[in-house]
Amino acid sequence: MKTLLTMALRFGLKPLLVPSLPLAVQRFAIGAATLPLRRARGIAIESTALGGRPALRLRPKGSSPNPNPSPNPTPRILYLHGGGYVVGGFASHRKLCSQLSAHTGAEVWLLDYRLAPEHPHPAAVDDAVAAARALAAQSAAPIVIAGDSAGGGLALATAMALPNQGTPEVAGLVLLSPWVDLTLSGESIRSLAGADAMLSLPWVEFCAQAYAGGSATGRSAQGCSPLFASEERLRTLPPVLIQVGDQEMLLSDAQRMAERLRAAGVSCDLQITADVGHVFQVFAGWVPEADAALQRVGLWFPDGSCGWVKQLKSRKKLHVNPG
């Protein structure tokens, strides 16, 4: 099944993610590509809004939508979808988010942030920051920001922007195949371009230009490329889990981001899965490696094994100057 699904991406979706095709076609294609994917059973999905943007709220059926305060509440996940900042949304990511909710037992909020090129940087960061603040205002339960591909980079940029807002405290970050370098300087961007079943160099270049507003210098700014954030800013981040496949162009992004986080003293768990590609977790329910990866998120996430609750009670909030 993994081979069939990989071939479907390579020969069905990848040819449609090209700069020469209208974005409307690309946006339809990324949603249609999820038709064979499996939605987790027992997950309730509710259309709502968060921070002024549309959102989906996913949670295990039978769980309380407004849990009573407890000493160790289960964190909530703010999920920022991938798609190169130019495609993606509810159609492409609701099934993945249902699987994430099922494996963690957590409430997941999938945000429909504004896309480029109609809304270049910093629109997506502004939307995600507003959503995190709105989520924090609902209850005292910790917030974890998660995302895949561009959404992984956006999760980092959002978490680094939040200390300047004063609130809320972010308990952790879960990054699936994160795109953190829009300058495309990673070694695997080119060495694994042929192996990657979904991404191509021309399309990734197109996405980087669209999000940075056509500015080459803007692509290296930390809001676009968290890899290049200052060590002072990186030190404000909570524990980070990074998952990546060894057959994808963004492997170097994940490895270099983990190195920078660890050098800044941030707890970072980098998990590299063999013989899988970009955001392979979308194949949960079909591919054993995808289920195993989300199970590892579940082990890392809800039971406090990372010491999040303890850290949240003991650490002082860090405030740094904007940069």
3-state secondary structure of 45: strand
Assign 3-class secondary structure to 58-80.
Answer: EEECCCCCCCCCCCCCCCEEEEE
Task: Give every CB contact of residue 239 below 8 A, 6+ residues apart in sequence.
Answer: 172, 173, 266, 267, 268, 269, 306, 307, 308, 311
3-state secondary structure of 175: strand
Q: Of 92, 177, 188, 248, which residue is the catalytic one? A: 248
Q: What is the CA radius of gyration of the chain?
A: 18
Q: Of 92, 101, 149, 225, which residue is the catalytic one? A: 149
Question: By C-alpha distance, which of 123, 99, 122, 126 is closest to 110?
Answer: 99
CA distance 112 to 30: 15
Query: Are 19 and 203 within 8 A, CB to CB?
Result: yes
Task: Give every CB contact of residue 213 below 8 A, 6+ residues apart in sequence.
Answer: 116, 117, 120, 121
Query: Are 222 and 228 within 8 A, CB to CB?
Result: yes
For residue 247, which amino acid is it? Q
Q: What does DSSP assign to residue 35?
A: T
Respond yes or no: is residue 248 known to be catalytic: yes
Q: What does DSSP assign to residue 11?
A: I
Instruction: Output the CA torsion 136→140→144→147 (10° steps).
Output: -30
Respond yes or no: is residue 149 known to be catalytic: yes
- Supply 35's token pair: 């038709």
- Supply 172's token pair: 């952790």
Query: Are 38 and 1 within 8 A, CB to CB?
Result: no
CA distance 224 to 121: 7
Q: Which residues are catalytic?
A: 149, 248
